[in-house]
Amino acid sequence: MAFEASVLLAGSNKPAPPNATIDGSLDEQQVMSVSVILARKNPIPEEAMAEPMDYETFAETYGADAAHIALVEQFAYHKGLTVVEVSAAKRRVILNGTVKAMKAAFGVELHCYKSSTGLTFRGRSGSISIASELEGVVLGVLGLDTRAIAHAHIRRSHKKKKKPAAQPVTFNPPQVAALYGFPTDVTGAGQTVGIIELGGGFSATDLATYFGSLGVTAPTVTAVSVDGGANTPGGDADGEVMLDIEVVGSIAPGANIAVYFAPNTDQGFIDAITDAAHDTTRKVSIISISWGGPEDSWAAQSQTSMNAAIQDAAALGVTVTIAAGDNGSTDGEAGALHVDFPASSPYALACGGTKLAGSGSSITSEVVWNETANNEGATGGGISAVFALPSYQESAGVPVLASNSFAGRGVPDVAGNADPVTGYSILVDGQSEVVGGTSAVAPLWAALVALLNEKLGSNVGYLNPKIYALGEGVFHDITSGNNDDGGLGYYNAGPGWDACSGLGSPDAVALLSALSPGASSSAGFGS
């Protein structure tokens, strides 16, 4: 019989869940779901991403091979699994089956775990096995393990209140946009911003109240379920959800907003990005992501699968803005330098944080956000230990990774106001509050891209190569501050690109002019 011999799936090894213990056995007859991620029919050359391609061309050229899909379907039949969904464009086959059948099909032991905080989930350790016929065909099997994979990059101020005269000035999102010179004669009409959320929810009443208080026409906001995720307000993650929607919606109220709710698992996160990128109904033009975790907390198969999903988006002309993290140059892992993923994907526009002061349309100061002394976070940034230096950064002066001299992808690409002390006024679960974090910067840039797309009459799409070719002249160069959170001495701001503020915060007037048809791009690095 076929599918008897097996091999280990490359990159699938996982340690046992940290800070958790096995808590009883799983019901062997419980039905569960996995997403099987397949290899591309052809690799996507960099030059093919210069202009957005249509869904049909993408599926035909860079989707999964029909023969590979048929092979996975045959495998499922032989292993007693049910094929729930097949998509060549998404390179994904979703399978259902009992716990017992999944364990046998993929050679894993699955256990019920309880975390130190009392959460229960399904987990595994070691590697996944796949039938030898699937070697080179299957890149990832997601969903066997349901441990939480990411956290939201939102920060709240812990400073004690001072006398009113000494209080720092906070902003609503349109005021931040005004300081950065966002165009005011467009609203993002014709654009759809996809927001990825791994928990929480939004209240339509709160949104109507918030936008009404700003005198802004409320945008159309739609909740989209992925892998059973749903709009469920009433929890801690509501602040992230409302921040994302309120930043995008108040700056680009003419854009449609689709919120993709998914479970906080590698399967849920990756499926949400994939579904948003390939949503032929809503035609998403920008994806905003404010969730992530240190690179070394991800299994390699998950990183590979998510990076490919973000590349899908970029090839389809979708700009993906991702928060760079709120835990400084260590990304919260004391004693060593780390960057946050998926911000470190070379196809993501990684968004770092600053501390902004200004009035009206005038910036009086802007430095790197670092409030670790007050336990209020610092912008993420540094050098990837996973992804090699992309061609668009070759002339940007990105240093090698200090620990091993690896020439890695530099994070972030851009920056924006993130300090919660000078943060964004939002409404969450009926309460007004001021928040920050690079969680605010990803939707800020997403809103700017929506405005630019409408203004230019076409999607800017995969923005990274374009902005590095333009150089720092279209940004407010941040030259003061650092994101050192552990006394390691990394990283300091300086002229040009740096590993805490990227190219800088947006000078939207200059950026729009430089991206307009006929504009010269001769101001790039090394010119």
Which amino acids are annotated catalytic? 240, 244, 439
Dihedral angle of Cα 381, 386, 388, 394, to the nearest 10 degrees: 0
Rounded Cα gap, residues 131 and 263, in angstroms: 28
Tell which residue, 190, 184, 169, has the closest CA to residue 256. 190
Tell which residue, 245, 247, 304, has the closest CA to residue 270. 304
Tell which residue, 459, 467, 367, 465, has the closest CA to residue 417. 367
Cα 278 → chain centroid: 16
How far from 425 is each of 119, 214, 354, 434, 479, CA to CA, in Å? 32, 11, 16, 4, 27
Q: Parallel, antiparallel, or unpaired for β 431-436 and 155-156?
A: antiparallel
Q: Are 260 and 197 spatial neighbours (Cβ–Cβ below 8 Å)?
A: yes
Rounded Cα gap, residues 318 and 283, in angstroms: 9
Q: Are 74 and 67 spatial neighbours (Cβ–Cβ below 8 Å)?
A: no
How far from 146 is each of 111, 118, 185, 224, 256, CA to CA, in Å? 11, 15, 45, 20, 31
Tokens 């230990």 found at: 385
Residue 181 structure tokens: 């010179």
Q: Parallel, antiparallel, or unpaired for β 111-115 and 362-368?
A: unpaired
Tokens 């240093």 found at: 399
- DSSP category for residue 375: T
Tell which residue, 253, 269, 217, has the closest CA to residue 450. 253
Rounded Cα gap, residues 507 and 351, in angstroms: 15
Using alpha carbons only, how large is the chain's radius of gyration in Å?
22
Tell which residue, 260, 207, 267, has the closest CA to residue 231. 260
- DSSP category for residue 163: -
Rounded Cα gap, residues 324 and 353, in angstroms: 8
Query: Which residues have a Cβ under 8 Å from the Cβ of 205 and sit 6 or more positions away?
Result: none
Tell which residue, 297, 307, 288, has the closest CA to residue 416. 288
Burial class (CB in 10 A: 0-12, 13-18, 19+), 433: middle
Tell which residue, 91, 97, 181, has the closest CA to residue 139. 91
- DSSP category for residue 389: P
